[in-house]
Amino acid sequence: MDDKSLLVKKADRIGWVVINRPERLNTINRATLAELRDAFRDMDRDPEVGVVIVTGAGDKAFMAGVDINEFPGLDAQTGMAYAAEGQALSLAIESFRKPVIAALNGAAVGAGTELALACHIRIAAGHVRMGLPEVKLGLIPGFGGTQRLARLVGRGRALELILSGRMIDAAEALSWGLINRVVAAADLEAASAGLAREIAANAPRSLEYAIQAVVGGLDRSLPEGLALEAEYFGRVCSTEDHREGARAFLEKRRPNFIGR
C-alpha cells in the first residue's frame, strides 16, 4: 500500500508502517487514523509478518501530534468521540498479537508520544524529543496518554510531564524508562530492524502469549497475573512449536517454527 499519508512495506518478516506526512511533521488526522487501523489489520492477517515497526517519514518527526485543523468545532460529544477513535487505535496496537516496535526518528508530540506508548518497544534516535503538551492548547491527552504514561513511569512523573506540557529529550526519556534504548539517528533503522529480526526468529505463538500475559496482567493483582501467566504457559506447552523447540535444543540445531 502506498498512499498519501501512510506507507506500508514488508521484508524479512518485518512489516514497516511509515507515517508519511513529512511536510506536516507527520501529524495525523482522522484519515490517517483509519489508514493505521487498516494497516495493522492487514499486518495481523499476513503470515509473512512476524514483527511490526512503526516510524515516521524524514528525520524531524515521528509524529508531531494530531493535525490542529481537526480541533476547531469540537464540543464535548464530538471530542469524546474523537478521543475514542484514537484510544481504539492505541489499544489495538497495545494488544496486537505480534510485537510492535516504535522507531522514533524525530519529535513525538502529543498523540505521537501516545502512539509510541502503545507500542511494545521504543527505540529512539538521539535527537528525539517527547512530550504531552496538550494543556498548552487547553486540552488534555486523549489517546491514552494519561493512563499509559502513569503506568509506565509512575504517577508523579506522569503528572509532571502532563501538567507542565514540557518536552523531554531522549536521554531523559531513557532515564525515566519511557524508551528502551537510544541510538544514533543514522543507526535507527538498522537497530530497529535488527531487534525485529531477533524477535521474529522466535516462536510466533510464544510471542503472542507473552504479549498477552504482560499486557493483560498489568491491571491485575499479582496472584491474578500469575494465574494468567500459567494459563498462557499451558497453552504454549501444547503447541507444535514448543515440541519443535525442545527437539531442536536437544539436537543442537536451529528450530523451524511454523506458528502452530
CB 118 within 8 Å of CB 127: no
Residue 252, number of CB atoms within 10 A of its CB = 6
How many angstroms separate the CA atoms of 50 and 35, rounded?
20
**Which entry of 35, 94, 134, 189 is annotated as an active-site residue?**
134
What amino acid occupies position 226? Answer: L
Q: Determine if residue 118 is left, alpha or beta; phi over 0 gives left, psi from -120 to 50 gives alpha, anything else beta.
A: alpha
Residue with cell 502513569: 150
Question: Longest C-alpha distance within the chain, in Å?
Answer: 65
**Which entry of 70, 85, 114, 160 is annotated as an active-site residue?**
114
Q: Which of 195, 22, 169, 115 is nearest to 161 (CA)?
A: 169
CB 197 within 8 Å of CB 13: yes
**219-249 CB burial, b ≥16 within 10 A, e <16:** eeeeeebeebbeebeebbeebebbebbeeee
Please confirm, yes or no, whether 134 is among the known catalytic residues: yes
Please confirm, yes or no, whether 229 is among the known catalytic residues: no
DSSP string, 116-151: HHHSSEEEEETT-EEE--GGGGT----SSHHHHHHH
| Residues labelled as active-site residues | 114, 134
